[in-house]
Amino acid sequence: MKTLSDHILDIIQNSVKAEATLIEIMVDFNKNKDLCTLKITDNGCGMNKETLSKATDPFFTSRNTRKVGLGLPLLKQNAEMSNGSFIISSEPGEGTSVEADFQLSNIDRPELGDVWNTIYLSLLGNENIELKYIHSTEKGRFELSSNEIRENLEGVSLQQKEIREAITDYIKNSIKEIQ
Amino acid sequence: MSKIKSLSDLKKIKEEVQSKMKLRENSDNPEQFVQVKVGMATCGIASGAKDTMKFFIEELELQAVDAVVTQTGCMGYCYAEPTVEVILPGKEPVVFGYVNKNKAEEIIDTYIKKGKLVDGIIPISFKTIDE
């Protein structure tokens, strides 16, 4: 995975598979602490201790279409390669939380990438899930909630060109302002 | 296009879109839509499925094809990612492999618009002559 956005797009799918109704994505860039944090929390079915211990094993997956599961191991690898850490915690019936820390100035830290497209595509693909995106830096904070978007759209498709452009531009500009 | 500064501005854009939609004769029957499903698991994303999906959304709209573009999981053809499943109205689903922008363009122009098959199909469901 080349960017954090790719990781986000990927990890969200785990939450979707776990039948989560709420997914919270938090991205924090802090130059003062030289730290970049990505945290994804869901209220899905969660994992028991045994499954949790195997979650970052690349040769473990809950699918049966293939025998490898690389989403979490790749994120862990990227975090550890950029002088960071990776924590995953889960409670059956409660949900799962994944946190990856990166050293912000590390040369191996993946760029954020086009997170506006990631968020937009995730909104489009998961109509029944409440998605929250929180982006913070030492300069400020930007929050986006899928419920708010849907309330304003009143059933009009997200796929409409004007709406697509408005949403992606809105996210892009809001992030730029606090960069 | 007007830019939005907050999500409540989205409402105005929605109203503009709605008035335009009424002009277009748009059927609510989903069977008349072309369905495009892009494989978006780890393998797909790592191979650039995000760009492929974005391209399908933009291009189908540009060419005024009524289509629903969605994501799907891994179909087990990781070697051929990005994979795309296309369902034309009333037809069997067809899965294409190695769908980059060029391939996507070919699929839209030849398969979706003209109904002719193109190279690169992964035979998931097929029938023998005995069936």
Domain ranges of chain A: 4-177
d(CA A86, CA B8): 37
Determine whether the interchain pair A170/B7 forms a contact, defined as Cβ–Cβ distance below 8 Å: yes
The angle subtended at Cα A156 by Cα A117 and Cα B38, nearest 5°, is 40
Residues of A in Cβ contact (< 8 Å) with B13: 162-163, 166
Determine whether the interchain pair A124/B70 forms a contact, defined as Cβ–Cβ distance below 8 Å: yes
How many residues are listed for chain B in this entry?
131
Beta strands across the sheet bearing A95-103? A85-91, A95-103, A35-42, A22-30, A130-137, A140-145
* A142 token code pair: 């930007």
Count other Cβ atoms within 10 Å, centred on residue B67.
Answer: 21
Burial of A106 (0-12, 13-18, 19+ CB in 10 A): middle
* Mean pLDDT score, A95-101: 95
* Mean pLDDT score, A107-116: 93
Domains of chain B listed by start with CATH number: 26-122 (3.40.30.10)
- Residue B128's pLDDT is 66
Nearest to B54 among A117, A144, A163 (CB): A117
Choosing among A114, A131, A143, A161, which should be mutated to test the B contact, i.e. which has the most B CBs within 10 A?
A161
Furthest C-alpha separation in chain A = 47
Taking 90 as the threshold, does the pLDDT of residue B20 lie above it? no
* Phi, psi dihedral angles at A6 (to 5 degrees): -60, -40
- Residue B65's pLDDT is 87
Q: Which own/partner contact pairs does A165-169 have at CB distance under 8 Å and 24+ positions apart?
A: A165/B1, A166/B1, A166/B2, A166/B3, A166/B4, A166/B9, A166/B10, A166/B13, A167/A116, A167/A120, A167/A123, A167/B10, A168/A116, A168/A117, A168/A120, A169/A116, A169/B3, A169/B4
Q: What is the ipTM of this complex?
A: 0.84
- Residue B85's pLDDT is 93
- Assess contact for B83 and B97: CB atoms under 8 A: yes
A and B: number of Cβ contacts within 8 A:
99
Q: What is the 3-state secondary structure (H, E, C) of A94-108?
A: CEEEEEEEEECCCCC
- Residue B98's pLDDT is 94
Q: Where are the beta strands (DSSP E) in chain A?
A: 22-30, 35-42, 85-91, 95-103, 130-137, 140-145
* Between B3 and A29, residue with greater pLDDT: A29
Give pLDDT tens digits for B110-120. Answer: 999 998 988 88
Nearest to B14 among A74, A161, A163 (CB): A163
Give pLDDT tens digits for A121-145. Answer: 999 888 889 999 999 999 999 999 9
Determine whether the interchain pair B61/A117 forms a contact, defined as Cβ–Cβ distance below 8 Å: no
Q: What residue in A sits closest to B41 (Cα-Cα)?
A: A10
- Residue B21's pLDDT is 67
- Residue B5's pLDDT is 79
Q: Does B10 touch chain A (CB under 8 A)?
A: yes
Q: Does B78 touch chain A (CB under 8 A)?
A: yes
Give pLDDT tens digits for A62-91. Answer: 888 888 889 999 999 999 999 999 999 999
Determine whether the interchain pair A167/B69 forms a contact, defined as Cβ–Cβ distance below 8 Å: no
Residues of B in Cβ contact (< 8 Å) with A119: none
Residues of A in Cβ contact (< 8 Å) with B21: 156, 160
- Assess contact for A109 and A80: CB atoms under 8 A: no
Taking 60 as the threshold, does the pLDDT of residue B24 lie above it? no
Which CATH number is associated with domain A4-177? Answer: 3.30.565.10
Nearest to A152 among B7, B42, B71 (CB): B7
Burial of B87 (0-12, 13-18, 19+ CB in 10 A): middle
CA distances from A43 to A72, A87, A179 (A): 18, 17, 30
Taking 90 as the threshold, does the pLDDT of residue A47 lie above it? yes
Residues of B in Cβ contact (< 8 Å) with A17: 73
Determine whether the interchain pair B76/A163 forms a contact, defined as Cβ–Cβ distance below 8 Å: no
Count other Cβ atoms within 10 Å, centred on residue A120.
Answer: 22
Residues of A in Cβ contact (< 8 Å) with B53: 121
d(CA A170, CA A176): 10
